[in-house]
Amino acid sequence: MTHKLRLGVNIDHIATVRNARGGEHPDPVAGAYAAIKAGADGITAHLREDRRHITDDDLERLQMLCVGENIPLNMEMAAVNDMVEIAKRLKPHAVCLVPERREERTTEGGLDVAGLHNSVTPIVRELRESGARVSLFIEADERQIRAAAASGAPVIEIHTGAYAHALLDGDALRADKIFNAMQSGAKLGASLGLEVHAGHGISFDNVSSIASIPELHELNIGHFIIGEAIFMGLEDAIAEMRRCMDDARGYDG
């Protein structure tokens, strides 16, 4: 048996639904509260530069909720100065730096930490000095993992999106190749002293294999859980994801 895998629930898409009509319903902060009550180990929210889902006000209220509930808030954000200033003021427990392009539908690909080393490293330092636990969202690629470790970030989050897509495409060969890279990437990260997380595109169908990677400490899951909540309710969707994760680890509480 390995250690228990934490489940961070990303509530961005509750805000997506709210924003489709304007107004205040459904409130992502109420969703975060329900997720915490259903067993989420952390709440994740992405403050995008275009504010397409989570707003500054949401993030402030999420921080208040998470501090009150003693649950870590993981703020995802682009590695740009405006966001760094917001994070320094708000002081979320964790900050995950992600690449961001306005025209993308969701975060495509990992942050090029190796290529952006000179700009990412000072941002990691600044955020760490403000008290945040910094993680870098990267592909399971040796060069990126080594660059992440060299940047001083204590955590990496491995992008699982390409693996999820390969499975959806029915391309077992490509899925296996990516899975092997994720396995060895997690091993390398842990051997460099990094805490290794994973996220993106995780669903009931692919969570078991991902959760079986023993070096992983946390999964961050959003779109599938919020979508599945339409059919089975948020509480049951989280409980079922938790069960799949625990089963994959042989964790019986």
Residues that bind ligand PXP (CB under 6 A): 10, 12, 46, 76, 96, 98, 106-107, 137, 157, 199-202, 220-224
Tell me how far apart the alpha carbons of residues 177 and 107 are, in angstroms, rounded to a whole number: 21
User: Measured from the CB atom, is 18 or 200 closer to ligand PXP?
Assistant: 200
The runs of H, that is alpha helices, within the chain are: 12-21, 28-37, 56-69, 81-90, 117-129, 142-151, 161-168, 172-191, 207-211, 223-232, 234-249
Closest distance between ligand PXP and the C-beta of residue 1, in Å?
26
Closest distance between ligand PXP and the C-beta of residue 157, in Å?
5
CB contact burial 229-241 (16+ within 10 A = b; e otherwise): beeeebeebbeeb
Closest distance between ligand PXP and the C-beta of residue 161, in Å?
7
In eight-state DSSP terms, residue 171 is -
Block residue for tokens 């979320």: 92
User: Measured from the CB atom, is 14 or 36 closer to ligand PXP?
Assistant: 14
User: Measured from the CB atom, is 58 or 76 closer to ligand PXP?
Assistant: 76
User: Measured from the CB atom, is 103 or 252 closer to ligand PXP?
Assistant: 103
Counting other chains too, the contacts that 174-179 makes at CB distance below 8 Å and 24 or more residues apart are 178/140, 179/209
Closest distance between ligand PXP and the C-beta of residue 168, in Å?
12
Residues annotated as part of the active site: 46, 76, 200
